[in-house]
Structure formats: structure tokens, C-alpha cells
């Protein structure tokens, strides 16, 4: 396992990897390779431009961009500037944007040109002062830009040239002035990730530098028995605004690996990237794996380089697992986690056989209790119980949500636990299994019955 210092800073960890792997490819984006050295320079330039634009330490900056080289440079640059990233899905509209901007208190937003219209609509109803506009062709060679525009292969949006608009491409090409030393470390907040709530509005989950580094280090190193971290090429189909994409894909950049980024999922593009680049890791959800297996051109490509296929976000149906193993002679590994736990709570090891449907063992940094959701009393081995999760560097509260914080976090034996609202079981060998959400579990004659089991009858 490649250790990541949980008392450090995320940008600091990347910079360390960049110094060791300067001329090595870190990101493949639309057929163009970007080295560690290039990304480090772009991120530092962006950080310097943010400081010049008046961004203060601890200020929140919304990142409203699809998976791309720009997303990574902005994410790193914001942290280098001492600010806090607020990554959100690029499919949000003005309504969602206004809520998150006001809840987070953000004053700057980094957006793609295709979303600029929503940003302009939101600015009058928020404290947003400036928008930083990105074209998804920014940083690509001129001939690729021309090709994309000529054949209408790149989505385009209109961006008004006004005083409240800055241009990402200009900001990353301006040499960084003397940046102040990094002071945001360890327990300081690195980003606020918004997740679905029991109310109509999403909840902000503050993730510290230390929590991210600890969790990312555990999750990216799961595949160490299969290949060296520096040899890893991750097909990053999981969205980077989501914790799955961050801890299982993006984190490879902290240990010398590479990631393939695409603004949207395209199966032929995924197949081609695996075939040409010999990607070793594929991160996906059950729907992606089903789509791959059902694709009529799957046999046109050599996908044999994939040695670590990981499923997250939902339970993997057994038929998909069996079909994948039969097709590729490799398993799909599973894990379980949440935004509030910074991803992985349990992960399937890659150096041992895992039972069917297992979501793995508890990772070293986490402690899990399975309890009766009504009484919080522990349940026995093999019995269904709500999963409570504790860790030393855990999220301790939602952003600006005291009521939902009180509902979701509970203290037991002087330790704080996050209530996942997920029902799991554990066997005598420490293998965990997902059953259902507590809200989807029916109590009948003293037994808890999963609604998904009923639906499957």
C-alpha cells in the first residue's frame, strides 16, 4: 500500500507524485496525453490566477464541469489556492445551482460554456461574483479544436464577455506568482460534496484533507496485489463530482497512475481506450457493466488488459457478475460506502476469493456496528442490522444542516457513528453483504423483509 499522509494536503500529495513522475502521462483526455508536470504547472497557474482574482483562504468555489482535464486542474488549483471545492453534477439546472450557491456561500463558480446560461440566471439570486468559463476543447491541440468545431463533435455554449466572467484557458496559461505556503491540511475542509437528503434539498458533506487522503489511499491500493500502482491506468467512467469517482479513480494521480477521462459515457470510446491504452482498472455501476456485456461490438476490441473491475453505487446483480466472469475470466469486485464516509467502508480484497454477493471486509480506517435501527442494539452474526460507521477522521456534521445532522449521527460509547440507513449482514468470516435501505425494509411478524426481495418474487 502506498501511504498518503492524512495530516497533509491533497494538493501536496499530488505535487509529490508529480515530482516523482514528471514526464509520465497522468491524464488521457480525448486522445491527448497530459503529463504530471503539465498538470502541476496548470494547477499552480490556476491557483495563482484565483488569488489574483481575490479568492480568499477557505472560500468555497463551485466546480460545475463534466469529467475532463479541466475538472482535475480546477480541483487541484482551488485547493492550492487554499479554497474549498464544491463539486456538483453538470446536469443541475438554475434551481439546484441557486440553492447550492446560497447554502455553500460560494462567490466564484467554474463552469463549462454549455452551463453558462444557468450560471447567468443564478447570479442575481446568489452571492456569486464571478464565473470562470471553460470550453471542453480548452488545452487541446489546435487541430483537434478545429476538427471538433467543423464536424460539430463538441457541445458549444454561448458565454458573454462581461466583467463578471473569467476565462479558464487564460487563467491556466498565466504564470503563477509566488503562492503562499499551504496551510490547509489534515482536519481542514478540502471540499463539500452535496448528496441527496430526506428533504427536497441536497445536504453538503464537508470532507477534510485528512479524511480524503486516508480513504483514497485505502481504496486505490486495493488492487496493489494485481499490479504496481504506477502501472495502473484507470478508465474513469464514474463522475468526478461523486465520491466513487474521486476515491477509486482520481486518487490514482496521488500514487503515480494514470486516468482516462471522457466528458460523457460512450461505450465504443471506452472499448477503444481500453484496447489502445491497455487500461487495467474499470470503475463502474451495474448499469455500465450490463451495457458492456450487452453491446453488439464488444468482440471487436481487446479488453483483456482489465484486471480490476470495480462496482460501486449499487448492488451488482449476480447474473451480471457471472456473465462478466464467464466472458473475461475475471471477477467484478464490489465495495460499499457513502459520501458521508468518503467512499469505501467495505472493499473486496483482490488477493483472496470473495463469496458471491459479498461487498467485502471493513477497511482498516473504519469501524462498523450492525444494529437494530429502532433500538440501536447490536445484532448477531448473520442477522440484518443497520450499518453504523465510525472513523477517527470522519465527517461529523452536514454543512448548515443541524436537524439532519442530529438524525444521521449518533454517539455510542463515547464514539460518533454515522447512521447509513442501509441494512447489511456479516458472516462468521467478516464478509459483509448488502440487504436494503432501512426505508425500504418492511417489518412483518417480528422479521425484517427487504422490499427488493419481495420485488424479486
Say how far apart CA 41 and CA 18 lie, in whole Å. 10
Strands (E), 269-331: 281-284, 308-311
349 domain residue, yes or no: no
144 domain residue, yes or no: yes
User: Which of 175, 195, 215 is the last residue in one of the domains?
Assistant: 195
Count of H helices and E strands in the chain?
Answer: 14, 23
Give the helix ranges, DSSP H, for 191-235.
209-220
Q: Is 257 helix (H, G, I), strand (E, B) or coil?
A: coil
Say how far apart CA 59 and CA 350 lie, in whole Å. 40
Radius of gyration of the chain (CA): 22
- pTM greater than the 0.75 cutoff: yes
Say how far apart CA 170 and CA 193 lie, in whole Å. 27
150 domain residue, yes or no: yes
Q: List the grid coordinates of 193.
A: 460534496
Grid coordinates 460499499 are at which residue?
336
Domain of residue 413, residue span: 364-457
Say how far apart CA 451 and CA 400 lie, in whole Å. 33
106 domain residue, yes or no: yes
User: Which of 176, 195, 214 is the last residue in one of the domains?
Assistant: 195
Total structural domains within the chain: 2
Per-residue pLDDT of the chain (457 residues; tens, 9 = 90+): 667 999 999 999 999 999 999 999 999 999 999 999 999 999 999 999 999 999 999 999 999 999 999 999 999 999 999 999 999 999 999 999 999 999 999 999 999 999 999 999 999 999 999 999 999 999 888 766 665 555 555 566 667 667 689 999 999 998 777 899 999 999 999 999 999 754 568 999 999 999 999 999 999 999 999 999 999 999 988 999 999 999 999 999 999 999 999 998 899 999 999 999 999 999 999 999 999 999 999 999 999 999 999 999 888 999 999 999 999 999 999 999 999 999 999 999 999 999 999 999 999 999 999 999 999 999 999 999 999 999 999 999 999 999 999 999 999 999 999 999 999 999 999 999 999 987 554 543 333 444 544 444 4
Report the greatest alpha carbon distance in the chain.
69
The enclosing domain of 62 has a CATH number of 3.40.50.980
Say how far apart CA 77 and CA 75 lie, in whole Å. 6
431 domain residue, yes or no: yes
User: Which of 144, 162, 195 is the last residue in one of the domains?
Assistant: 195
114 domain residue, yes or no: yes
421 domain residue, yes or no: yes
The enclosing domain of 379 has a CATH number of 2.30.38.10
Let me know the angle formed at the C-alpha of 271 by 270 and 277, rounded to the nearest 5 degrees.
85
169 domain residue, yes or no: yes
Amino acid at each position: 500500500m502506498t501511504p498518503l499522509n492524512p495530516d497533509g494536503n491533497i494538493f501536496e500529495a499530488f505535487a509529490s507524485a508529480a515530482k516523482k513522475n514528471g514526464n509520465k502521462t497522468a491524464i488521457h483526455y480525448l486522445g491527448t496525453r497530459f503529463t504530471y508536470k503539465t498538470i502541476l504547472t496548470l494547477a499552480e497557474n490556476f491557483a495563482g490566477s484565483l488569488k489574483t482574482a481575490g479568492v480568499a483562504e477557505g472560500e468555497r468555489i463551485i466546480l460545475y464541469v463534466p469529467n475532463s482535464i479541466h475538472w482535475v486542474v480546477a480541483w487541484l488549483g482551488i485547493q492550492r489556492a487554499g479554497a474549498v471545492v464544491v463539486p456538483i453534477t453538470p446536469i443541475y439546472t438554475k434551481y439546484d445551482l441557486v440553492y447550492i450557491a446560497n447554502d455553500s456561500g460560494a462567490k466564484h463558480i467554474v463552469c463549462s460554456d454549455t452551463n453558462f446560461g444557468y450560471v447567468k440566471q443564478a447570479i442575481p439570486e446568489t452571492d456569486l461574483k464571478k464565473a470562470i468559463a471553460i470550453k471542453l476543447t480548452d488545452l487541446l491541440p489546435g487541430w483537434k479544436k478545429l476538427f471538433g468545431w467543423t464536424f460539430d463533435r463538441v457541445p458549444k455554449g454561448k458565454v458573454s464577455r462581461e466583467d463578471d466572467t473569467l476565462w479558464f484557458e487564460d487563467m491556466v496559461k498565466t504564470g503563477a506568482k509566488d503562492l503562499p505556503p499551504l496551510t490547509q491540511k489534515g482536519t481542514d475542509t478540502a471540499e463539500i460534496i452535496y448528496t441527496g437528503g430526506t428533504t427536497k434539498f441536497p445536504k453538503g458533506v464537508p470532507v477534510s484533507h485528512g479524511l480524503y487522503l486516508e480513504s483514497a489511499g485505502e481504496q486505490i491500493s486495493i488492487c496493489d496485489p494485481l499490479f504496481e500502482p504506477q502501472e495502473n491506468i484507470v478508465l474513469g467512467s464514474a463522475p468526478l463530482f461523486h465520491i466513487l469517482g474521486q476515491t477509486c479513480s482520481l486518487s490514482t494521480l496521488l500514487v503515480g497512475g494514470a486516468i482516462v477521462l471522457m466528458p460523457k459515457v460512450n461505450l465504443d470510446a471506452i472499448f477503444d481506450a481500453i484496447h489502445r491504452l491497455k487500461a487495467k482498472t474499470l470503475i463502474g455501476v451495474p448499469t455500465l457493466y450490463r451495457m458492456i456485456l450487452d453491446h453488439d461490438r464488444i468482440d471487436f476490441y481487446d479488453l483483456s488488459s482489465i484486471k480490476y473491475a470495480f462496482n460501486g453505487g449499487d448492488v451488482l446483480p449476480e447474473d451480471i457478475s457471472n456473465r462478466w466472469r464467464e466472458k473475461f475470466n475475471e471477477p467484478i469486485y464490489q465495495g460499499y460506502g457513502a459520501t458521508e464516509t468518503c467512499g469505501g467502508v467495505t472493499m473486496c480484497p483482490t488477493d483472496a476469493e470473495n463469496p458471491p454477493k459479498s461487498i467485502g471486509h471493513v477497511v482498516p480506517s473504519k469501524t462498523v456496528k450492525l444494529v437494530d435501527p429502532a433500538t440501536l442494539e447490536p445484532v448477531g452474526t448473520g442477522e440484518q442490522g443497520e450499518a453504523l460507521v465510525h472513523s477517527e477522521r470522519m465527517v461529523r456534521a452536514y454543512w448548515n444542516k443541524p436537524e439532519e445532522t442530529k438524525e444521521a449521527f449518533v454517539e455510542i460509547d463515547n464514539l460518533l457513528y454515522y447512521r447509513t440507513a442501509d441494512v447489511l449482514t456479516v458472516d462468521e468470516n467478516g464478509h459483509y453483504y448488502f440487504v436494503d435501505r432501512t426505508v425500504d425494509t418492511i417489518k412483518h411478524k417480528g422479521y425484517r423483509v427487504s422490499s427488493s426481495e419481495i420485488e424479486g418474487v
